Amino acid sequence: MRPLPSPARNPYWRFLVAGFRGQSAYPLAMLAGLVANATFGLLKGGIMGAAVESAGGELAGYSAATMAAFVWLGQGMLGSVNLWGGSDLQTRIKSGDVAVDFLRPVSVQAAHVLTDIGKGLFALLPRGLPSVVIGILVSSMALPPSAGAFALGLLSLLIGIAVSHASMYAVATTGFWLVESRGISVFYMAFSGFFAGLFTPIYLFPDWLLTVALLTPFPSMMQLPIDVLSGQVTGTAAWQHVGVQLLWLAVVLGVGHLTTRAGRRRLEVQGG
């Protein structure tokens, strides 16, 4: 009987681990990110807390505790979800190095997305967890009501990270046609943070704008994981959140796959 293959021999597992290890090479950048998270978390927490208090103790379904959880969980996720529009793939397309990627016997999409997810997972350690600890110390933020809810929240968080990087990969593939895709990235950055719940909970939006937000993958990156992790939604509603996230993950991966295939046919390398 042949032994089962070791995960360490799987090339896609190695891409994930490489991203995780590669991000660990920048401890000072992680520290600077944590300081920024804490600083803006205190400012944002004060503003949102005052908004809840002025509304009589509840605002769009948020109490002071759940609003504090929204603020600090969001700050903890900033280093892990890609709302900033950057991607190594953009540089490799512009330079023509992506042609080498296509020669390898692995999926270009999986290689880039898994590497970026690995980077995001590492950022949870020096930036994510300390940010949440700071939030617990300086506020009465809500916590998951049970171990099961916490486990589901972690799953939702992982899916949110994956959705963000898979979406950015799909955006980066526009470089096959545009070559210089930084404008698209800036456009993506402007909308992703707003609709993901980076600034305020999307439930504070007018009904029409909330509907627009929910028709995009952006809430699945941050707002929905925060809802599940904080206990803002529980039971069937929490599972529905995860189901929506999985749906959007399948959509953005599918779009990225199709644009990669089309882009490969379109690829022109200077001098080649």
Is residue 1 assigned to a domain?
no
Return the percentage of the chain with pLDDT > 90, whole number: 68
| Average pLDDT of the residues in 163-173 | 95
| % of the chain exceeding 70 in pLDDT | 95
As a whole number, mean pLDDT of residues 113-134 equals: 94
Question: Mind listing the pLDDT tens digit for each residue in 248-269?
Answer: 999 999 999 999 999 888 775 5
Total domains in the fold of the chain = 1
Task: Render 88-146 in DSSP notation, one character per residue.
Answer: HHHHHHHHTTHHHHHHSSS-HHHHHHHHHHHHHHHHIIIIIHHHHHHHHHHS-----SS
pLDDT of residue 270: 45
pTM: 0.92
Q: How far is CA 111 from CA 10, 24, 67, 115, 215, in A?
A: 12, 19, 37, 6, 28
- The pLDDT-based confidence of 271 (bands split at 50, 70, 90) is very low
Is 158 a member of any domain? yes
Asked if residue 225 is part of any domain, the answer here is: yes
| 183 or 82, higher pLDDT | 82
Which residues lie across from 59 on neighbouring strands? 62
**Residue 268, pLDDT score:** 57
Q: For residue 3, is it within any domain? A: no
* Of residues 76, 237, 215, the one with CA closest to residue 157: 76
The answer to whether residue 111 is domain-embedded is yes
Q: Would 63 be classed as within a structural domain?
A: yes
- Domain assignment of residue 244, given as a range: 10-264
At residue 272, the pLDDT reads: 44
The angle subtended at Cα 194 by Cα 188 and Cα 196, nearest 5°, is 90
Domain-located, residue 95: yes
Whether 150 is covered by a domain: the verdict is yes
User: Residue 205 above 80 pLDDT?
Assistant: yes
Asked if pLDDT for residue 5 goes beyond 60, the answer is no
Q: Is the pLDDT of residue 4 over 50?
A: no
Q: Residue count of the chain, please give it.
A: 272
Alpha-carbon distance 145 to 238, whole Å? 12
